[in-house]
């Protein structure tokens, strides 16, 4: 099968038919968007999942009859492309390796990359071709880049609107920072896409002679329990003037303090061991504490000087224990008495020294044991939530730690014996330019004030009203909305739009990508040359996006024709709000939440987004994809080799939405053979004639209706793994069973039934494997695209409980017979099957109704049966009643409900119908059927009395 040829044929056909171009019409609309790509690399298998899911969703809604808009743009904004072009210019060997070996770029192409925009446009084109080849049903008339002039006008309007509403503030705030680029950094700018998150530490000034030994801590309330200080003896420290005071800190800390706007002047470098042995004064109670040596101290963490609280900090406790046993250090530094822990917090669950007990729990040995990490965080959160300050903490005695933490901090900050510093939570964070990021306190920077309470309130309101798929992720949004603070929204360099009121700044990439879904309406008119950006002012956007002002004025002032202005406004009102926004899970804490914030700030409530869909990432054969593992496969190469549909299905079938999908080539192979099966079936039933309608035809038709209902139900929650599994695997099993039945009966022409089956299966599959669906659809003799034909409608008249129960009964019976043969090792020549007596059916149904009410106590069930004259016969054979109850409880719920609904069901009819199959499967034995009540039956071993409804008795000879 030449998949690529088929793919190109349909890509061309769809474009000729303008199948995915969406303009307002009389139908209900559905607007699907997915995060536009950042074109600094070709897309690989890992990128494909989010886009493929969004496309399958768009195609599904289209087939359901909605007028679906699914557009795509390209995000050029920011510094990563600049950084990359600089690395190209510098001949960075790692980057060149990636270009040559993974992306397979020629030197000629690479040489153009010294110009940043060339990088963007090259990969833009590459990604676009990949998207077409994947069969994404995109309305390409609306394509744009974020450095287009009209887009910049749109973003300027967004920012002026936010500023007017008071959501943009200027001030000093800490930000993640690249010292080389002199620019704030966020997730998009870092290697490995790490958000540079930071903690605020309290720095407590311990006085030691003329110097200050500043200790950074996250637990200022433990200051009362300090017994000593820690310094790393062989690390380099510096004596520095900090804002007029003499501090001793690690060399790394001095640099960090500069970024936090302290005036720092290095006087001299010293070794840590020079400080060991000195004494320092605890500012909260003036106690004198010694400075000890410790190897766990990290020079680049905090100030490099640690206050030791051995009662509540496992590292401190362990280092003291280590020091007790380290006679060499004791004599080297003249330490004669080792301090003992001072307990200052009580909490349930701890009787002795809490840190000591926490260490015992994790089983750590020695201060460099990584298990101390867990002991520390466990004890920290336990004491934070459950701890109370003890009597030795002055005015804080009796206070819960939750409060004391802030109160102590406020007190020491106000009295000037402490200050604050910021520190990255995880280190190191590398900028894409290669430099290590720091925290910088930026002054005069522009911030989006996500800390604004009123704004948060609106964002919560929107998130609450919105549908979030999957539901489990909803609380993550609430958490992020609460947690977000001011966020730097502009940079000094990079591609993008200048801040309208301060031209030194460029709006950064996570701020100019939050309401652009609205711009897809406008871009169609820009690309179609119906409007030009020359005279466009805010008035234009106010009118078409918010309905403010008048079309006449806008037409006049912006030099756009009046009908065009009206048409754009109408089109926006038609397609907005966004019905479904798709993105990867890693964008929940930034992009997706900013998307909510900015929509509620700018748009009227009726245009707030309706749904967010979040999916997990993709693993390659169980492993994370990474350049170092060499398992990154560019999407276009994969399409060429395996075909787009197999890749689409392999991405979607391996996991439900939030889990990581595991892409594997075994799955690719298995899917390909399933798809080939569809082509074979299509050839079989291309000349279909109506089939003589028998039990198995009725059954297959009924199963198809169930598949339509089930798939639509799963698609409501975008459980695509389930849907694809049903369509490709469960339906295929049904087909195999059907063919077996047909074969055993020796039926000739069943192409009518097969055609009906394939017709439904192909339409169900179309959103996920569009190329195969179209091609098979055409081979079946259809001339209209399967997209237009639409999602199959359920035919209620084809749902056939009798047929469903019959085949279920037969397949269970067959399994029972095979089992008997296996266990008894009989090779039967004749099998006699006894169906149960009518009175048992009465009892059976009654038991189902009782158990469906949730009652499963045998005694109670017996009582109810005996009380009813219709089922009173139960008392004659409690054993069989017990067995029936067991049968019922082990049957699928679906089967129980069906059996209750079936008024009359003659098992003998079904068994007779399948006698040829049973015989064919079991030794070509003769099949004989009796009912238990038949006086003429042969029953040499008295098997008949053990027959139960849907569980006939069997005698083999």
Residue numbers of the site for Zn ion (CB under 5 A)? 178, 180-181, 431, 433, 435
CA dist., res. 523 & res. 632, Å (int): 33
For residues 198 and 422, the answer to whether their CB atoms sit within 8 Å is yes
Shortest separation between residue 189's beta carbon and Zn ion, angstroms:
7
Number of residues assigned to the chain: 957
490, 506 in Cβ contact below 8 A?
yes
Q: Tell the smallest beta-carbon distance from residue 426 to Zn ion (Å).
A: 17
Burial class (CB in 10 A: 0-12, 13-18, 19+), 286: exposed
DSSP for 57-118, please give it.
HHHHHHHTT-EEE----B---BSHHHHHHHHHHTT-HHHHHIIIIIS---HHHHHHTTSHHH
Give the separation between CA 93 and CA 87, rounded to whole angstroms: 9
Closest CA to 515 of 478, 477, 547, 541: 541
Nearer to Zn ion, 495 or 518 (CB): 495
Query: Of 433 and 810, which CB lies nearer to Zn ion in the complex structure?
Result: 433
**332 preceded by a cis bond (ω within 30 of 0):** no
Q: What is the DSSP letter of 427?
A: S
Residue nearer to Zn ion on the CB measure, 80 or 589: 80
Q: Which is nearer to Zn ion, 196 or 609 (CB)?
A: 196
Give the shortest CB-432-to-Zn ion separation in angstroms.
6
Give yes or no for a contact between 744 and 913, defined as CB atoms under 8 angstroms apart: no
Minimum CB separation from Zn ion for residue 494, in Å?
11
- Cβ distance to Zn ion smaller for residue 182 or 443: 182
User: Minimal CA–CA distance to 119: which of 42, 35, 34, 36?
Assistant: 42
The distance of closest approach from Cβ of residue 200 to Zn ion in the complex, given in angstroms and rounded to an integer, is: 24
Which residue number, 435 or 658, has a Cβ lying nearer to Zn ion? Answer: 435
Nearer to Zn ion, 431 or 484 (CB): 431
> What is the helix (H) or strand (E) element at residue 14, kind and residue range?
helix 3-16
Give the nearer residue to Zn ion in terms of CB position, either 320 or 510.
510
Residue with tokens 């009121």: 501
Asked if the bond preceding 502 is cis, omega within 30° of 0, the reply is no
Q: Report in angstroms the alpha-carbon separations of 408 from 405, 412, 721.
A: 6, 6, 53
Question: Whole-number minimum distance, CB 788 to Zn ion, in Å?
Answer: 50
Report the residue number, 183 or 646, with the smaller CB distance to Zn ion.
183
Do 851 and 885 form a contact (C-beta atoms < 8 A)? yes
Measured from the CB atom, is 128 or 491 closer to Zn ion?
491
User: Least distance to Zn ion from the beta carbon of 83, Å?
Assistant: 6
Give me the residues paired with residue 706 across strands. Answer: none
Q: Which is nearer to Zn ion, 189 or 383 (CB)?
A: 189
In angstroms, how far is CA 781 from the centroid of its own chain? 40
Q: How far is the CB of 185 from Zn ion (least distance, A)?
A: 7
Taking every pair of Cα atoms in the chain, the longest distance, rounded to a whole number of angstroms, is 114
Hey, is 513 helix, strand or coil? coil
Shortest Cβ 450–Zn ion spacing (Å): 24
Q: How far is the CB of 178 from Zn ion (least distance, A)?
A: 3
Least separation in angstroms between residue 182's CB and Zn ion is: 9
Nearest residue (CB) to Zn ion, 132 versus 180: 180
How far is the C-alpha of 335 from the C-alpha of 420, rounded, in Å? 32
Q: Please name every residue paired with 268 in a beta bridge, in sequence order, or none if there are none.
A: 239
Task: Residue 796: count other Cβ atoms within 10 Å of its Cβ.
Answer: 7
> Which H or E run includes 385?
helix 371-386
CA distance linking residue 733 with residue 676, whole number of Å: 15
- Cβ 155 to Zn ion shortest distance, Å: 23
Cα–Cα–Cα angle for 915, 916, 918, rounded to 5 degrees:
60
């Amino acid at each position: 099968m030449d998949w690529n040829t088929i793919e190109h044929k349909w890509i061309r056909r769809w474009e000729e038919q303008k199948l995915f171009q969406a303009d307002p019409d009389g139908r209900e609309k559905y607007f699907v968007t997915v995060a536009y790509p950042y074109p600094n690399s070709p897309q690989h298998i890992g990128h494909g999942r989010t886009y493929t899911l969004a496309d399958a969703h768009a195609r599904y809604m289209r087939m359901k009859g909605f007028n679906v808009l699914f557009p795509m743009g390209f995000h050029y904004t920011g510094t990563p492309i600049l950084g990359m072009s600089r690395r190209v210019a510098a001949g960075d060997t790692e980057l060149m390796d990636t270009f040559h070996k993974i992306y397979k770029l020629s030197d000629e192409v690479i040489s153009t990359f010294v110009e940043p925009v060339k990088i963007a446009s090259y990969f833009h084109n590459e990604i676009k071709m990949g998207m077409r080849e994947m069969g994404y049903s995109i309305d390409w008339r609306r394509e744009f880049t974020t450095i287009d002039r009209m887009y910049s006008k749109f973003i300027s309007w967004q920012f002026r609107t936010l500023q007017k509403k008071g959501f943009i503030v200027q001030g000093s705030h800490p930000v993640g920072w690249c010292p080389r680029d002199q620019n704030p950094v966020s997730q998009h700018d870092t290697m490995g896409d790490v958000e540079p998150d930071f903690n605020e530490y309290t720095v407590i000034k311990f006085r030691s002679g003329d110097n200050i030994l500043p200790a950074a801590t996250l637990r200022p309330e433990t200051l009362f329990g300090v017994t000593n200080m820690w310094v790393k003896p062989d690390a380099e420290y510096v004596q520095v003037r900090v804002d007029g005071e003499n501090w001793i800190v690690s060399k790394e800390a001095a640099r960090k303090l500069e970024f936090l706007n302290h005036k720092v002047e290095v006087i001299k470098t010293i070794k840590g061991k020079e400080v060991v042995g000195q004494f320092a004064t605890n500012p909260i109670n003036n106690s004198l504490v010694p400075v000890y040596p410790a190897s766990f101290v990290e020079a680049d963490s905090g100030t490099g000087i640690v206050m030791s609280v051995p009662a509540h900090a496992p590292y401190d406790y362990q280092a003291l224990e280590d020091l007790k046993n380290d006679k060499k250090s004791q004599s080297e530094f003249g330490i004669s008495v080792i301090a003992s822990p001072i307990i200052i917090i009580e909490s349930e669950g701890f009787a002795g020294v809490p840190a000591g007990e926490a260490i015992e729990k994790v089983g750590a040995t020695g201060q460099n044991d990584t298990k101390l990490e867990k002991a520390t965080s466990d004890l920290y959160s336990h004491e934070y939530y459950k701890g109370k300050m003890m009597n030795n903490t002055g005015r804080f005695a009796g206070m819960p730690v939750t409060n004391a933490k802030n109160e102590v901090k406020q007190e020491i900050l106000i009295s000037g014996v402490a200050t604050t510093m910021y520190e990255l939570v995880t280190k190191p964070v590398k900028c894409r330019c290669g430099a290590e990021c720091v925290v910088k306190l930026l002054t005069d920077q522009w911030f989006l004030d996500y800390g604004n309470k009123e704004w948060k309130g609106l964002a919560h309101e929107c998130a609450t009203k919105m549908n979030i798929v999957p539901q489990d992720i909803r609380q993550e949004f609430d958490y992020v909305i609460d947690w977000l603070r001011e966020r730097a929204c502009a940079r000094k360099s990079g591609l993008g739009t200048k801040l309208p009121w301060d031209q030194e700044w460029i709006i950064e990439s996570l701020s100019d990508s939050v309401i652009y879904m609205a711009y897809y309406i406008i871009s169609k008119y820009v690309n179609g040359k119906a409007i030009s950006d020359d005279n466009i002012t805010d008035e234009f956007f106010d009118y078409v996006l918010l309905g403010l002002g008048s079309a006449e004025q806008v037409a006049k002032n912006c030099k756009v024709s009046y009908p065009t202005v009206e048409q754009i406004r109408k089109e926006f009102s038609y397609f907005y709000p966004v019905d479904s926004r798709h993105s990867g899970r890693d964008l929940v804490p930034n992009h997706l939440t900013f998307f909510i914030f900015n929509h509620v700030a700018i748009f009227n409530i009726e245009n707030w987004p309706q749904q967010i869909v979040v999916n997990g990432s993709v693993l390659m054969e169980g492993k994370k994809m990474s350049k170092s593992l060499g398992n990154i496969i560019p999407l276009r190469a994969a399409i060429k080799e395996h075909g787009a549909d197999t890749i689409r299905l392999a991405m979607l079938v391996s996991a439900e939405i939030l889990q990581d999908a595991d892409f594997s080539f075994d799955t690719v192979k298995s899917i390909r053979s399933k798809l080939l099966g569809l082509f074979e079936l299509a050839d079989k039933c291309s000349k279909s004639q109506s089939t003589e309608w028998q039990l198995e035809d009725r059954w297959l038709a009924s199963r198809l209706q169930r598949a339509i209902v089930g798939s639509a139900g799963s698609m409501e929650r975008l459980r695509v793994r389930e849907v694809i599994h049903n369509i490709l695997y469960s339906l295929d099993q049904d087909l195999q069973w059907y063919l077996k039945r047909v074969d055993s009966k020796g039926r000739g022409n069943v192409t009518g039934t097969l055609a009906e089956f394939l017709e439904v299966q192909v339409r169900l599959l179309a959103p996920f494997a569009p190329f195969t669906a179209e091609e098979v659809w055409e081979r079946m003799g259809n001339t209209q695209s399967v997209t237009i034909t639409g999602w199959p409608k359920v035919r209620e008249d084809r749902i056939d409980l009798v047929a469903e129960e019959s085949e279920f009964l037969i397949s269970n019976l067959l399994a029972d017979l095979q089992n008997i043969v296996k266990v008894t090792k009989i090779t039967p020549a004749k099998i006699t099957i006894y169906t149960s007596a009518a009175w048992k059916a009465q009892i059976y149904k009654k038991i189902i109704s009782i158990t469906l009410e949730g009652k499963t106590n045998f005694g109670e069930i017996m009582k109810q049966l005996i009380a009813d004259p219709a089922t009173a016969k139960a008392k004659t054979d409690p054993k069989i009643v017990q067995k029936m109850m067991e049968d019922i409880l082990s049957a699928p719920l679906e089967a129980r409900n069906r059996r209750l609904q079936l008024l009359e069901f003659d098992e003998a009819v079904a068994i007779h119908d399948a006698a040829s199959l049973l015989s064919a499967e079991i030794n070509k034995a003769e099949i004989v059927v009796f009912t238990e009540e038949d006086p003429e039956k042969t029953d040499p071993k008295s098997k008949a009395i053990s027959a139960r409804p849907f569980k006939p008795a069997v005698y083999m000879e």
